[in-house]
Amino acid sequence: MSDKINNLSVDCVVFGYEDNQLKALLIKRDKEPEANKWSLPGSYVYLDEPIEKAAQRVLLELTGIHDIFLTQVGIFGEVDRYPQHRVISILYCALVRPEMFELLAGSHAKEVSWHEINSLEKLPFDHNQMLDAALNWLKDELWRKPILINLLPEKFPLNQMQELYQLILQNPIDNRNFRKKVISQGLVEKLNEKSKGGQQRPAFLYKLKVPL
């Protein structure tokens, strides 16, 4: 690997759905600036690697997560966004099921863990703005594509999908309107199966439709 580019970095917002909460993956930094603070996983790009490969490498080195689909959602280039020198960062976002990955802190991460997004405190640098940008991207995509396929289980009742939409949109959604919209837009396919167990009465299960 060649030398790093000191003025170019990648940062990653990785969302997960766990315990009926929307969460973001954070690392605890082990170096200055902002040592011992929780932040988004990110680091410099090397001279000889494509930007997306850099994002994949950084996630693996810092968190142990690998081989996931990343989408570029923004560029952050404020002159004073990093205190030591100017750094332009390219932001990537991913959606994963937390139970599918074993987290492993490495590189400049002391710890790595999932954090519920509605209880996050001030993050270092401009990472709160990055998280907001990733959430806005997610909100824009929700009604157009079955992107929640990496958050929801393979089969689910529609009320579980609605709960996740409400968490992301941060607003309540009328039950009948939600069902009508996701079905009319072809986002889901009804299965000839019903949920089992739990306190609620059995409900038909659905799966997300993946475009061919």
Within 8 A by CB and 6+ apart from 70, the residues are 12, 52, 55, 56, 59, 92, 93, 94
pLDDT tens track, the chain, 212 positions: 569 999 999 999 999 999 989 999 999 999 999 999 999 999 999 999 999 999 999 999 999 999 999 999 999 999 999 998 999 999 999 999 999 999 999 999 999 999 999 899 899 999 999 999 999 999 999 888 888 888 999 999 999 999 999 999 989 999 999 999 888 888 899 999 998 866 667 889 999 987 64
Q: Which amino acid is at 46?
A: Y
Backbone angles phi, psi at 120, to 5 degrees: -75, 140
Domains of the chain: 4-142 (3.90.79.10), 151-208 (1.10.10.10)
CA distances from residue 48 to 4, 43, 45, 51, 114 in whole angstroms, order as listed: 9, 15, 9, 10, 31
CA distance 63 to 75: 22
Residue with tokens 């689909």: 69
CA distance 177 to 126: 36
The reported pTM is 0.91
CA dihedral defined by 138, 143, 144, 150, rounded to 10 degrees? 50
- Burial-class residue 120 by CB neighbours within 10 Å (0-12, 13-18, 19+): middle
